[in-house]
Structure 1
């Protein structure tokens, strides 16, 4: 009886025993990373199958032996890594899990990622463009997403919501494997991608789960709302917390407490988010041959280029120069 083919066998990207080739090809599909065989006498037998769509992608990756993978921050994308067999040690930020066929890993882009995949640990990987997932979340919530999504690292694949999400992954895989599957039709593929994103956001706990489950947000008191309006109207000016508090007629401590209680942020953090949004809108409408990122950033109060670029990438999942060129 012939051995069962691995997932997405008709979409092979590479099959190699060369660690340098494996690192380069996996880096091309995902991001640059360090790859090391942990057993000195072991032989690599790496293969990657995969197909990508507009906002998501589906991959099968197997190294054939135990390896350590250290990509650092993912930055511009999310992954759900589903072991089909074996175990993997996954550390992301302060969280650490032993991933298995019952526990997938969902590393967040802004956490340092370090992984040790065991021998016999092929994984099915679902890739999500970060900006698209956060935009999709915003459409579900009916508001702009200002803070990055931060998922819990472990996904319990035995939970009902996770099993429902896995059914959609399996549907996408089966359609991608067929020569005339639904994923070849752009309209259908777009709907499947939206369903994958919606179900992931509903199934996997994150900092946005309470809002998605319909828990009522706190209503900000009038002073906080007036402060928000003041910040939005004068975002290009060199505002201080004391000036904002004076404008709305409250003390600095009362204003800071109000922002923390009702918006889960601070006045200056809210000001920075507003400024970043204004920068993004301007970059999207500018001619890259006429303006520069530095000039636009300076107009909105960002004078330290390095700190601005880091904050921009954390909020939008891409560099400001990428936005300007888009």
Structure 2
């Protein structure tokens, strides 16, 4: 069946159908749960972790089950079978979900599911309020109808494959007590990236409006956004928060950054945080300070990618900075922007 995920985050294990229904409802919502095959196979396992506004869960009934929540109302789900298959009906859409095709039920549509025996699933839960706030910020307008996604999410190619990689990263880090859960900067970055990807890439009732051209933010607005980012780089800020701070839409800010800086707001934020890491390492005591600890504190969890980015910028590995070695050929972030410098 494969590895049990989030084994260090157990909520319950049970062979009692009523207990299973009650315990799962505590995390999601009240629902109908019936056995659809050999009743003796029921051996449910539910592991779950909350990171920021995202909840990641591993749920396995072992037996074949019918799950009928109706309308989820207050949250969106991405459900990824780790093995086997499940029949998912949501509103007027229906798919057979497999490890290559996740399901993305929307909270205003009636949901009815049949999971086959041996179909454990990785489930990512987003609060509806957070999703709708992010969408309103991207549109710079209130929603005039419910956000309904296409039910099937193809994980085998393109952006969705990268999205699955972010979900796997959350799982891996949640499996360590000193991992992502202890790093609010990294949590906020992943939340924002996962939500933005779903909203802008997955077909939905708003995707056409999201893809419509939008005027870029003016240079002076981008300059104010840059100042905000530099002042708040130690906080778990998102593109939407930066956009609100300078009173433009998220898409307008994205376009302004691309046109005037050749960056997105979040890639610029990563550049600023890389500078802060460099400053801490240069001033740090090698006997008390570690590269891994400083990098994680500034939201860099993947050490390989962090080290490569650091070397590209400063011309030497981060450990050399901590030892006091001098850079050779590195370029400071302020000289990497189009036109020579970022706005200050």
Does the pair score TM above 0.5?
A: yes
Structure 2 match to 1:259: none
Q: Which residue of 2 aligns with 1:9?
A: 7
The more displaced of 158-167 and 124-133 is: 158-167
Alignment pair present for 1:159 and 2:157: yes
Once the two structures are TM-superposed, the CA of residue 214 in structure 1 deviates from its matched residue by 3.0
User: Do residues 148 (structure 1) and 146 (structure 2) align?
Assistant: yes
Aligned partners of 2:3 and 2:160: how far apart in 1? 25
**1:191-221 deviation digits (Å, cap 9, x = unpaired):** 221111111212321111122223579xxxx
In the alignment, which residue of structure 2 is the partner of 1:171?
A: 169
TM-aligned CA deviation for residue 111 of structure 1: 0.9
**In structure 2, do the counterparts of structure 1 residues 159 and 5 end up closer, same or farther at CA, with 3 Å as the change threshold?**
closer
Distance (whole Å) between structure 2 residues aligned to residue 153 and residue 103 of structure 1: 10
Q: Who is 2:130 aligned against?
A: 132
Is 58-67 or 183-192 further displaced after alignment? 183-192
Quote the Cα distance in structure 2 between the aligned partners of 1:40 and 1:169.
Answer: 32
TM-fit CA distance, 1:130: 0.3
**In the alignment, which residue of structure 1 is the partner of 2:77?**
79
Deviation at 1:43, TM superposition (A): 2.7
User: For 1:32 and 1:70, how far apart are their aligned partners in 2?
Assistant: 9
1:209-228 correspondence runs (5 A):
209-215=207-213
Contact 1:33 1:72 survives alignment (8 Å): yes
Q: Deviations over 1:76-115 (max 9, x none)?
A: 0000100011010111111111110111111111111110
On the 8 A contact 2:38/2:64 being kept in 1, the answer is no
Superposed CA offset, 1:57-91 (max 9, x none): 10010000100001110000000100011010111
What are the superposed Cα offsets for residues 113-142 of structure 1, whole Å, 9 maximum, x if unpaired?
110000010000000000110101111222
Change (3 A) 1:165 1:40: closer
TM-score (norm 2): 0.60
CA shift digits 1:160-216 (9 cap, x unpaired): 011111111111111111221123222332222111111121232111112222357
Aligned to 2:109: 111
Point out where structure 1 has 5 or more consecutive residues left out of the alignment.
218-326
In the alignment, the residues of structure 2 paired with residue 5 and residue 121 of structure 1 have an alpha-carbon distance, to the nearest angstrom, of: 13
- What's the counterpart of residue 203 of structure 1? 201
TM-score (norm 1): 0.63
Q: What is the CA–CA distance in structure 1 between the aligned matches of 2:207 and 2:111, rounded to whole Å?
A: 23
- For the aligned residues, what is the CA RMSD? 1.8
Query: Judging changes above 3 Å, is the alpha-carbon distance between structure 1 residues 85 and 7 closer, same or farther for their aligned structure 2 residues?
Result: same
Distance 1:41 1:192 in 2: 39
